[in-house]
């Protein structure tokens, strides 16, 4: 399926392209949500969304595709149908930024000038950073829920594996949805348990991180499932090489004293999460800060140097969890701050770092981890209704039924249920 870009309107032209009040770079969850929130607040402004892809993906659903719950088609829709009314879709990729001149350069050879820029490009999955991985993905038992085309192969492997070694990996942080590497494993183990295969399959989790999860309050319920499924938990163990034909995964292991060793692990199934980094177009621009991410104030999400530039979502240089739940809270904050900037006023809203990881520990139960900057617990619902420190059926219901609808018909359309932007200086 391909979509063509709508005709470009006759807006004010400059010597180097068209001029918009707001230019949003990226048509994923962050870009679309912010654009829709801006336009719902103020019609009549000119706004362009720069996005090369004709398809939009609900990435949080890929875990459930890999777990046999969702169909692959449930996670994909036409980008054209999601562009908010009043916005222009520029179907091209950003190739460079000139923030001093308020310009974005595009892959089609043109440039666009802006009054305010919103950067929402997402991040880059660096599959080639692991030797041998790219050439064996999708075969030889090597899979990943981090790709639309591979998530069904994960479920295929779970269904067909009858015995042997199942290896799951997690790279160094930061990554999008830090709980996703575990989610794939728990759902697989639960499926094998239900089929009576738990004793036939040896499962191991190799994570480059020093702990199972970054917020300590959620570690005990997760460790309960590590023990229940007899998972061999290997901390500070980073995948560096994959021999698909030989079915061998190579890991670099860091000991307590900092010394490093290499180990080889045989596998029959290998679920890989690739290292992740800021896109090159960001890393090589004046917008980049530490690690190549867009340098922004963590509260206002305004650029630390360029006052008419904002960033949110996975590409923002903030310490929050890189999840769709974070974007849902960030988008309204950026929307009202963008409009304030257009009015030559200071930022009016701030973000507390909220993020959420619905950890699918078994089919029908989820540990819903919600937290803000510094690992501060930030539950949306009262604990008597939903205790995020315990696996619950309600959290699973939210994940399977409520969150997809909230995504497609809520946040992407600018509807801000329970995420009104917090005004700077007022109590939370």
At residue 88, the pLDDT reads 97
Residues with a catalytic annotation lie at 177, 357
Give residue 283's pLDDT band: very low, low, confident or very high (50, 70, 90).
Answer: very high
Given this model, what pLDDT does residue 5 score?
A: 37
Query: What mean pLDDT, rounded, does the chain reach?
Result: 95
Residue 47 Cα distances to 119, 180, 360, angstroms: 13, 34, 38
Number of Cβ atoms within 10 Å of the Cβ of 325: 25
pLDDT of residue 17: 64
Please name each of the domains of the chain with its CATH number. 19-123+278-413 (3.50.50.60), 127-276 (3.50.50.60)
Task: Specify whether the CB–CB gap between 314 and 348 falls below 8 A.
Answer: no
pLDDT in tens, 118-176: 999 999 999 999 999 999 999 999 999 999 999 999 999 999 999 999 999 999 999 99
Render pLDDT for 399-415 as a digit per residue (tens, 0 to 9). 999 999 999 999 999 99
Task: Please give the average per-residue pLDDT across 422-427, as a whole number.
Answer: 95
User: Does 282 score more than 70 pLDDT?
Assistant: yes
pTM for the model: 0.94
73-110 per-residue burial string, b: 16 or more CB within 10 A, e: under 16: eebeeebbebbbebbbbbbbbbeebebeebbbbbeeee
């Amino acid at each position: 399926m391909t979509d063509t870009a709508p005709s470009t309107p006759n807006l004010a032209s400059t010597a180097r392209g068209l001029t918009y009040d707001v230019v949003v770079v990226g048509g994923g969850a962050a870009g679309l949500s912010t654009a829709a929130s801006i336009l719902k607040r103020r019609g009549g402004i000119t706004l362009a969304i720069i996005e090369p892809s004709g398809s939009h993906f609900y990435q949080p659903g890929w875990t459930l595709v890999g777990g046999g719950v969702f169909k692959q088609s449930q996670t994909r829709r036409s980008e054209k149908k999601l562009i908010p009314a009043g916005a222009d879709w520029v179907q091209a990729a950003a190739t460079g930024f000139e923030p001093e001149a308020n310009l974005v350069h595009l892959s089609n050879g043109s440039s666009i000038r802006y009054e305010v820029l919103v950067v929402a490009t997402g991040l880059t999955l660096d599959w080639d950073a692991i030797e041998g991985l790219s050439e064996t993905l999708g075969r030889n038992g090597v899979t990943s829920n981090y790709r639309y085309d591979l998530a069904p192969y994960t479920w295929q492997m779970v269904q067909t594996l009858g015995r042997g070694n199942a290896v799951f990996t997690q790279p160094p942080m930061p990554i999008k949805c830090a709980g996703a590497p575990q989610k794939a494993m728990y759902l697989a183990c639960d499926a094998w348990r239900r089929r009576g295969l738990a004793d036939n399959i040896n499962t191991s989790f190799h994570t480059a991180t020093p702990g199972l999860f970054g917020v300590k309050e959620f570690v005990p319920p997760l460790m309960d499932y590590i023990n229940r499924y007899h998972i061999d938990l290997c901390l500070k163990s980073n995948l560096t090489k994959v021999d698909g034909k030989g079915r061998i995964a190579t890991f670099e292991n860091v000991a307590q004293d900092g010394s490093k060793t290499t180990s080889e692990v045989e596998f029959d199934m290998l679920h890989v999460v690739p290292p992740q980094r800021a896109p090159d177009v960001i890393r090589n621009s004046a917008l980049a800060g530490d690690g190549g991410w867009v340098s922004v104030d963590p509260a206002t999400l305004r650029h630390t140097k360029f006052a008419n530039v904002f960033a949110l979502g996975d590409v923002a240089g903030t310490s929050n969890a890189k999840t769709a739940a974070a974007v849902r809270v960030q988008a309204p904050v950026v929307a009202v701050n963008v409009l304030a900037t257009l009015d030559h006023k200071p930022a009016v809203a701030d973000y507390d770092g909220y993020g959420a990881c619905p950890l699918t520990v078994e089919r029908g139960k989820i540990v819903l981890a919600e937290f803000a900057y510094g690992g501060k617990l930030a539950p949306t619902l009262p604990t008597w209704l939903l205790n995020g420190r315990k696996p619950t059926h309600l959290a699973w219901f939210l994940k399977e039924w409520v969150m997809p609808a909230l995504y497609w018909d809520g946040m992407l359309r600018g509807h801000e249920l329970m995420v009104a932007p917090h005004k700077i200086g007022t109590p939370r």
